[in-house]
Structure 1
Amino acid sequence: MNLSDIAAGLERGTLAPYLGPGLLSLCSGATPPADPLALAAVLTAKVSVPGKIKNRLTAAAQFIENFKHRQTLVKGMNEACAIQATPSPLHRWLAALNTPLIVDTWYDDTMRSALAPRSDWAEVQGLSQSEHFGTWTGWYDAAGAPLPDAADTTTVLYKPWGGHAPAGNYLVSDSDFVEVLTEIDIQTPIPALVQQRRAALGFVFLGCRFNDQLPRAFARQVMKRSAGPHFAVLPDEPTRMEARFLAEQGITRIDLSLADVAAALCGAALPA
């Protein structure tokens, strides 16, 4: 399958975008931290954290939560993610597709901003059990108001790790992820509507890396029982664990830069 076929699948709604923090590299101007290392650096710039965990986002977040309180962690995340990136042409193209599902695994508001001209979409975010014990997800309408659910909406924006807007929900500390990963094999934290819609979809991974256990674990569970096929834009040589993950999940690697793929999907010609 070539890029024109992938574009056609996204336009038809048989393929769904699965976005990672790397998509921020396509945005012009200022952006919030665009990878776990950069986000950890912002969080630990204002709170002293032991050197051995300073560059490990989830461990640093756990230390802040344990010794400075959860509110300090949430405040730090809100400040780090408050920068509003200008949506790239790819964000805007994806937002115009009326796709049934968009998965976004970073905390920024960029995809939400791209969807803002529409009113027929809703967002569902993962919730930290330390703040919302027993409730795994929160639904919001296009204006950011809480919803009980969104069964009739055209597009669902699913942010399994939470997000800055509209309510500062974040899965970021070790304990946040332990709680979810304990249940995710039986799919409890994944909204029923997401499970329903993915059954007819394949996923196109854009701006994602799988060189850490967390993104692999979430991708594996979100993809479970989906129709396929699946594709991942991964220009850099995969690590051993990434290559193994791609093979076991039947994900076809697209060995092109994200910028080139974005240009092609948005209708421009690939550079020679």
Structure 2
Amino acid sequence: MATHVLENPEVLLDEVGEGLRAGQLVPFVGPGISALGAHAVPLSTGALADFFATKTTLPRRAKGNCWAAAQYIESTRFRDTVTAWMKEAFAQGVLPSAFHRWLAGLPLPLVVDAWYAGEMRTALLAAGREDWAEVQGITRAHIGEDRWFRFYTPGGDPAKAHDAEAATTLLYTPHGGIAPDANFLITDADYVEVLTEIDIQTPIPEEVRHRRTGLGFVFLGCRFDDQLLRTYARQIMKRSSARHYAVLDVETLTRNERRFLEEQNISPIAKPLGEALGQLMG
């Protein structure tokens, strides 16, 4: 890990900027980007758990853990309540940052948005582009379908896999999102279903698997201090390039995060996120 930390962040950011412009890197954008500004919606797993705690009294094991909190709510108040409270949590929306808008102007083959607020979708819409499609992870709870994801057009209408194949840019929201249909993977049970098959990759859309081949990933506004988030990132990156990047505060990394970065050959870029994003856009 020490050798990673010693890499020059300026050199790494230059590599990332070149890779994004050339379509050789997949931006994996987390809620930390929007959290640089002030917003009324939860922009971390902890903040979402805190929101749930304002709605009901959570048992100790669920406090601070949004997946366990959602599972408790589903167990005691049914799935419709979980969905209604998720809609309430993200109802105010989040305007895309300058960086989301910058990404939306690039003909990237694949963009991963790893949160529920929908900034990347909004940015692509605002860019006026029609050459993109979205694929969202969905819960299989109560839908009566043997499906792991749904495809959407820019306008939010249901789409087919071939629409994604024809798109210049594919937006992948693996945990679901508030728009266009309020699909949410959020409870422990949702993730248990996915994780039983994620090693054989069936929950990950085939077009995502196709597009990631040979590309690197750059993680922006993400943390890996949660085992579920590490597992998801590891599986989404599978069979991609051997070189990846993450803008992180290396001083606050947990031992599990350090191990994860090392295992996945992710070079940490030790620079404040806002500065790094500004430099990439520059």
Same fold, TM-score > 0.5, yes or no: yes
Quick check: 1:216 aligned with 2:230?
A: yes
2:121 to 78, 101, 112: 112
Question: In structure 1, how many angstroms separate the alpha carbons of the residues matched to 2:98 and 2:88?
Answer: 26
Hey, what's the Cα distance between the residues in 1 that align with 2:224 and 2:63?
21
Q: State the SS of the aligned residue for 2:130.
A: coil
How far is the alpha carbon of 1:45 from its aligned partner? 1.1
Q: Which residue of 1 aligns with 2:155?
A: 143
Counterparts of residues 47-66 of structure 1 (less than 5 Å): 47-66=56-75
Runs of 5+ consecutive residues of structure 1 not aligned to the other structure: 268-272
Query: Paired residue for 1:159?
Result: 173
3-state SS, counterpart of residue 246 of structure 2: strand
User: Hey, what does 1:7 align to over in structure 2?
Assistant: 17
Stretches of 4+ aligned residues off by more than 4 angstroms = none
Q: Identity of counterpart residues, as a percentage?
A: 48
Query: Partner of 2:5 in structure 1?
Result: none
Q: Within 2, Cα distance between the matches of 1:45 and 1:60? A: 11
Give the partner amino acid of 1:3: L
C-alpha distance in structure 2 between counterparts of 1:54 and 1:249, whole Å? 30
Structure 1 residue 228 displacement after superposition: 3.7
Map of 1:270 onto structure 2: none
Moved more, 97-106 or 231-240: 231-240
State the superposition RMSD in angstroms: 1.2
Q: Is the 8 A contact 2:12 2:269 kept in 1?
A: no
Measure the CA separation in 2 of the matches of 1:100 and 1:131. 33
How many Å separate the matches in 2 of 1:243 and 1:257?
18
- Choose the corresponding residue for 1:202, options 209, 216, 223: 216
Measure how far apart 1:54 and its partner are: 2.5
Residue from 95, 98, 103 that aligns with 2:107: 98
Say whether the 8 Å CA contact 2:31–2:114 is kept in structure 1: yes
Aligned length: 266
Partner of 1:19: 29
Query: RCO higher in 1 or 2 (8 Å CA, sep ≥ 6)?
Result: 2
- AA matched with 1:16: V
The yes-or-no answer on 1:121 pairing with 2:132 is: yes
Are 1:241 and 2:251 an aligned pair?
no
- Is 1:263–2:261 an aligned residue pair? no
User: Which ranges in structure 2 are unaligned for 5 or more consecutive residues?
Assistant: 1-10
Contact 2:28-2:219 at 8 Å conserved across structures: yes
Cα deviation digits, residues 247-268 of structure 1 (max 9, x gap): 011110100011011110110x
Question: Shift in Å at residue 3 of structure 1?
Answer: 1.3
CA distance in 2 between counterparts of 1:131 and 1:123 reads 22
Q: Separation in 2 of the partners of 1:228 and 1:266?
A: 24
**More helix as a share of residues:** 2
Task: Name which of structure 1's ranges 189-198 and 128-137 shifts more when overlaid on structure 2.
Answer: 128-137
Letter in 2 for 1:196: H
Measured after TM superposition, the shift of residue 102 of structure 1 is 0.4
CA distance in 2, matches of 1:162, 1:60: 17
